[in-house]
Amino acid sequence: MSPIALPAADEHVQYYGKYIALVGPDSLAALESQARSTAALLAATPEAKGNHRYAEDKWSVKEVIGHLADGERVFSYRALRIARADTTELPGFDENTYVPAGRFDRRTLADIAAEFAAVRAATLALVRTLDEDALARRGSANNTPVSVRALVAIIAGHEAHHVGLLRERYGLKG
C-alpha cells in the first residue's frame, strides 16, 4: 500500500490540526506503528492501574482506552461513508456521554485493550483499501467539512494525543 500523505489545511477544520500535527508524513504508517506500540504499552500496564485517574474529574486509564475505541469507530465510520461517495450529513457525537455510558471501569484493562486492538485492525483493513480518489473525497460530519484523508490522519493524531497523556499524566510506561 502506498503511503497516505497528510491532508491539506482545507481538508479539515482548524480544530483537528492539533491532532494531525502529531502524525508523521504517512498516516497509514502511523496507524500501523501505533497498533504495535499502544498494544505494548497497555500490555505493560498493570490491571491495578486501569482505574487510575490523574485528577478527580478526569477519565480513568480504562475510560481513555474506551474513548479511543469509540472515537476511532466513529471516525472510521465517517471515512467509510465519505469514501463510498455517501453525501449524507453525518452527525457528531459527544464523548462526554459515551464514556460514562460505556462503563469501562467495570471491565478489565486487558479486555478493553483487546477491543481497541480489534477496532484498529478493522480501521487498517478499511484504510488499506482506499485509493487516491476515495482518500480525496470530502463530506460533512458534525456540520464541518472533512476529507477521508483527513479522517485517517485524525484517527492517528487522536490516538497520539491520548497516548501522550497516558504517558505524561497517568505515568504509563512501556
What is the CATH classification number for the domain harbouring 154?
A: 1.20.120.450
4 domain residue, yes or no:
no
Sequential DSSP letters for 31-91: HHHHHHHHHHHHHTS-GGGTT--SSTTS--HHHHHHHHHHHHHHHHHHHHHHHTT--PPBP
pLDDT category, 174, cuts 50, 70, 90? confident
26 domain residue, yes or no:
yes
- Mean pLDDT to the nearest integer, 38-45: 98
Model confidence pLDDT, tens digit, residues 104-141: 999 999 999 999 999 999 999 999 999 999 999 999 99
- Mean pLDDT to the nearest integer, 38-42: 98
Give pLDDT, residue 107: 98
Residues 6+ apart with CB under 8 A from 107: 62
119 domain residue, yes or no:
yes
2 domain residue, yes or no:
no
pTM score, whole prediction: 0.97
Model confidence pLDDT, tens digit, residues 55-106: 999 999 999 999 999 999 999 999 999 999 999 999 999 999 999 999 999 9
Residue 99: domain span: 9-168
pLDDT category, 1, cuts 50, 70, 90? confident
Given a cut of 80, is residue 9 above it in pLDDT?
yes
Q: What total of structural domains would you count in the chain? A: 1
CA distances to 43, 65, 108 from 115, rounded to whole Å, are 13, 9, 11
Give pLDDT, residue 160: 98
Q: How far apart are CA 130 and CA 31, in angstroms?
A: 14
